């Protein structure tokens, strides 16, 4: 009887903690739409309260949660609201976030079917739905990772192994010492994550062949070098600043003729494939060999939810291979660890499934179109107020500048200090710009109008300095 009473008490405490967390979460969500997007000096100063020695003994869990909410919540930048336009950060869609909460309680390891049949099944379903949604080759397989940076690395490892195998070199067995040469071709405006991945996997960055880009950051097809069957060509669907898409159709045609491997970095732009209006931006992308995309950007799944897609299932599985007598596979079922670097990993496909299930094909298309329409509206409104729009707004990215570089920098600083909206900065054609990424389902037209007013107020303050 004593053991039963003890168990009941533990469950009651656990339930109370979950109720407490739910109360704090509700308060945060309710405040997120009006909370300033700048924590403020007083709130930030309180972060120093975490700087204490490791407690010598247990701390009351309820008190711990209270401190975390009391100090932590005011020092976030509430990207779940509609006025956060920084870093291509999507907002968490409510049904997906609710499913993630349930999945966190399950606390499943998604490595093998035998560890979590539900995680295996949802990965299998998400893979099929995404392939259909984007119009990729039917045999395409998906691996679910933390984000596009990891997905790019996985795609590159798969490509590297295949390109070396064509030259009779088994890199998994023999390593890279003495390996034949392979080539890497990238655009002038390629994302830094591409260079990071090349460094990770031993291909380096100094030997990369760089293709010039046009004024929007797109690779110029005519400037591509001669390709061969030992070449990895890295393209992008959605330039991180301008949102522009490489001419994928022409690049893939050239690569296919030469037998080169094409990887598409589509962190946020690959979801253009779900929209009839925006799919032309991706023309020919289905001819590539691998694709990397985030579900936590345009699609608005909670963090972290990246996806590697590969049209060569056996090559991806070979690159990610692992063995051990204790590893237990299940015939006819998906064992997800064979498509990703990690063994132990959370069941991130749960929230992705929840999002796709509740939105459906038409809902995803509507979300993509809405984000793009909001970006166009912001650009038009700012242009009418005398701001310069430095890119062709083809997707969800808007690059804004004032009359002088100094005024642009001062305006951005004022925007970030004011907290009415939040934007980041970048350098575009050697000039500073304000970078607005419209990525949240929660962004309304009213938010866009507030943003235009905030831009104007920040510029006016800059003029007074």
DSSP 394: S
How many residues are present in the chain? 465
Asked whether 347 and 362 are in contact (CB, 8 A), the reply is no
Please tell me the distance from the alpha carbon of residue 435 to that of residue 87, in angstroms, as a whole number: 8
Whole-angstrom Cα distance, residue 418 to residue 9?
Answer: 48
Give the Cα separation of 43 and 25 in Å (integer): 18
Q: How far apart are CA 242 and CA 246, in angstroms?
A: 11
Cβ atoms of 143 and 316 within 8 Å: the answer is yes
Query: Residue 334 has which token pair?
Result: 């998906």
Tokens of 102: 């349930």
Per-residue burial over 106-135, b = 16 or more CB atoms within 10 Å of its CB, e = otherwise: eebbbbbbebbebbbebbbbbbebbbebbe
CB proximity list for 365: less than 8 A, separation 6 or greater: 274, 275, 276
Q: Which helix (H) or strand (E) holds 21?
A: helix 2-32
- Which residues sit opposite 142 in a β-bridge? 309
How does pLDDT run along the chain (465 residues), one tens digit per residue? 445 555 667 788 899 999 999 999 999 988 887 888 999 999 999 999 999 999 999 999 999 999 999 999 999 988 888 999 999 999 999 999 999 999 999 999 999 999 999 999 999 999 999 999 999 999 999 999 999 999 999 999 999 999 999 999 999 999 999 999 999 999 999 999 999 999 999 999 999 999 999 999 999 999 999 999 999 999 999 999 999 999 999 999 999 999 999 999 999 999 999 999 999 999 999 999 999 999 999 999 999 999 999 999 999 999 998 777 777 888 999 999 999 999 999 999 999 999 999 999 999 999 999 999 999 999 999 999 999 999 999 999 999 999 999 999 999 999 999 999 999 999 999 999 999 999 999 999 999 999 999 999 999 999 876
Return the structure tokens found at 210: 């760089």
Token reading at 335? 């064992």
The helix or strand, by DSSP H or E, that contains position 432, with its residue range, turns out to be: strand 431-437
Block residue for tokens 């920040």: 458
Pairing relation of β-strands 431-437 and 422-428? antiparallel
Burial group, residue 339, by CB count within 10 angstroms (0-12, 13-18, 19+): buried
Instruction: Give the closest residue to 136 by CA, choosing from 306, 299, 279.
Output: 279
């Amino acid at each position: 009887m004593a053991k039963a009473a003890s168990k009941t008490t533990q469950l009651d405490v656990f339930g109370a903690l979950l109720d407490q967390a739910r109360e704090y979460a509700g308060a945060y969500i309710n405040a997120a739409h009006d909370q300033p997007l700048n924590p403020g000096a007083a709130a930030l100063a309180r972060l120093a309260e975490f700087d204490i020695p490791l407690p010598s003994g247990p701390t009351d869990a309820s008190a711990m949660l209270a401190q975390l909410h009391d100090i932590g919540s005011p020092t976030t930048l509430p990207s779940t609201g509609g006025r956060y336009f920084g870093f291509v950060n999507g907002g968490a869609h409510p049904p997906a976030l609710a499913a993630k909460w349930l999945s966190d309680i399950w606390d499943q390891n998604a490595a093998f079917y035998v560890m979590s049949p539900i995680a295996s099944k949802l990965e299998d379903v998400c893979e099929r739905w995404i392939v259909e949604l984007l119009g990729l080759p039917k045999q395409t397989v998906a691996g679910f990772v933390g984000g596009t940076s990891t997905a790019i690395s996985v795609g590159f490892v798969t490509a590297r192994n295949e390109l070396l195998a064509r030259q009779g070199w088994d890199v998994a067995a023999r390593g890279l010492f003495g390996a034949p040469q392979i080539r890497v071709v990238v655009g002038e405006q390629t994302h830094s994550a591409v260079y990071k991945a090349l460094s990770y996997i031993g291909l380096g960055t100094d030997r990369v062949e760089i293709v010039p880009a046009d004024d929007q950051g797109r690779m110029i097809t005519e400037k591509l070098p001669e390709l061969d069957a030992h070449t990895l060509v890295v393209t992008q669907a959605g330039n991180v600043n301008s949102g522009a898409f490489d001419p994928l159709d022409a690049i893939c045609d050239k690569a296919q003729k030469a037998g080169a491997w094409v990887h598409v970095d589509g962190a946020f732009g690959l979801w253009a494939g779900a929209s009839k209006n925006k799919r032309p931006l991706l023309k020919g992308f289905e001819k590539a060999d691998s694709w990397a995309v985030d579900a936590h950007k345009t699609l608005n799944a909670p963090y972290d939810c990246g996806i590697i897609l590969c049209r060569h299932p056996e090559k991806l599985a070979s690159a990610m291979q692992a063995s051990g007598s204790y590893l237990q596979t299940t015939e006819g079922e998906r064992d997800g660890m064979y498509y990703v670097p990690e063994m132990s990993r959370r069941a991130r496909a749960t929230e992705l499934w929840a999002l796709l299930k509740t939105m459906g094909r038409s809902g995803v298309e509507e979300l993509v179109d809405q984000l793009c329409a909001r970006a166009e509206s912001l650009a038009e409104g700012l242009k009418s107020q005398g701001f310069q729009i430095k890119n062709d707004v083809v997707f969800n990215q808007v690059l804004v500048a004032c009359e002088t570089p100094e005024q642009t920098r001062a305006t951005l600083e004022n925007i970030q200090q004011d907290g009415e909206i939040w934007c980041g900065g970048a350098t575009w054609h050697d000039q500073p710009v304000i970078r607005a990424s419209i990525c949240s389902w929660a962004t309304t037209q009213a938010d866009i109008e507030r943003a235009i007013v905030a831009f104007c107020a920040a510029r006016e303050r800059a003029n007074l300095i």
